[in-house]
Amino acid sequence: MNRILDRVGLPVTLFVLVAALAGLVHAMSPASLQRTVIVILINVVLVIGLYVFTGNSGVYSFGHLAFAMLGAYAGGLLVMPTELKEIQVPDAPAFLRAIEVSPPVAVLLAGLIAALVAIPVAIPLSRIGGLSAGLATVAMLLSMNVVASEWTDVTRGRRALSSIPTETTLAWALFWVLVVLLVAGLHQTSSSGRQLRASRDDEVAAAASGVRTSLLRGQAFVLSAFVTGVGGALFVMFLGSVSPSVFYLDYTFIIIAMLVVGGAHSLTGAALGAIVVGALQEFLRRVEGGNLLGLDIPSRPGLANIALGVLLVVMLVRLPRGLSGGRDLHWWRRWSTASSTSGAAEPHDGPEASETSQEQQTARR
């Protein structure tokens, strides 16, 4: 029982909390705020996608939304009716114009396509770290943006690919939040995930213990690309259109800020950061537009971006491990300890210390 809880307890707990909060706000809010709830859930998927690689490896990726862009175009084209593709992209390859799949299949295929594209990228990227890896991922994002902007036969270039069926509802977004939480949770508690987290904490010691860091980083990178591609497909099926500028530098900064604010080293922090920053963005957007709770107030253009930048700086200085403190929710461990009949109290320094100990033991094995 404890083994099962260790694998799925965290993602299920986070999903219950996220679903309860989203359902409550969605039921009690006007239509405009209901749409914001769905956007925040999609952001949860995207932030978790970044966390799967960055949170476990300690290597920051500044170009991960390239996979969201790829997933958005792939998902949008796959779900678009064939007759609309004849109008939107008449010069696209014949097989692409002829194919039309259901939204669930389109989202899944979008994630798989993003993962396949990530494989050749992961080979060189997994062998570098630090600033070099960050610059390499930025180059990846820039390259993907150029391809999307210039491949007019398939993407319509800088003109938006529109008329995409809008299928992403609250229930559909929540379903994929559950899926990606389970994917991320099972990965970080697996043997490869624990070894990768051990290399994040001490790469030299992990390598000396036989941990193949580059291979594990590559695996995490491909898995995170899949999750991010799913997020991109959900987003395009919510907006109904996509252009290269949607998944670019501005959105990249927001997703990274969400991960940092919540806590880059924990799955709890990834979900928490997406929700907190998303709610703050909506509040500041209303203040920016001069409308807050039905009151007319002076508009403050640019306030949202300035406030988000200030928040990020303050978090880096005051709470470098984020709102979660780098810790995950592990209520069942305390419950199992309290219900133990052995009569012997084991030393316990908190969830983070327990995780670190397990990761180090896995690395040594």
Q: pLDDT of 2-49, one tens digit each?
A: 777 777 888 999 999 999 999 999 888 888 788 999 999 999 999 999
Q: What is the pLDDT of residues 319-347, one digit of tens each?
A: 889 988 888 877 666 655 555 545 444 44
The letter for the amino acid at 133 is A
Task: Give the pLDDT confidence score for residue 130 in this predicted structure.
Answer: 81
Above pLDDT 90, what percent of the chain? 59
Q: How far apart are CA 264 and CA 324, in angstroms?
A: 9
Range of the domain at 155: 2-245
- Assigned domain for 356 exists: no
Task: Give the pLDDT confidence score for residue 297 in this predicted structure.
Answer: 61
- Assigned domain for 57 exists: yes
- Assigned domain for 365 exists: no
Residue ranges in the chain modelled with pLDDT below 70: 1, 290-300, 331-365
- Assigned domain for 271 exists: no
- Assigned domain for 351 exists: no
- Assigned domain for 347 exists: no
Please say whether the dihedral angle defined by the alpha carbons of residues 274, 276, 280 and 283, taken in this order, is positive or negative: positive
Task: Give the pLDDT confidence score for residue 205 in this predicted structure.
Answer: 87
Q: How far apart are CA 68 and CA 233, in angstroms?
A: 7
Residues written for the chain: 365
Give the count of domains, the chain: 1
Output the pTM of the full model: 0.89
Task: Give the pLDDT confidence score for residue 345 in this predicted structure.
Answer: 43
- Assigned domain for 335 exists: no
- Assigned domain for 238 exists: yes
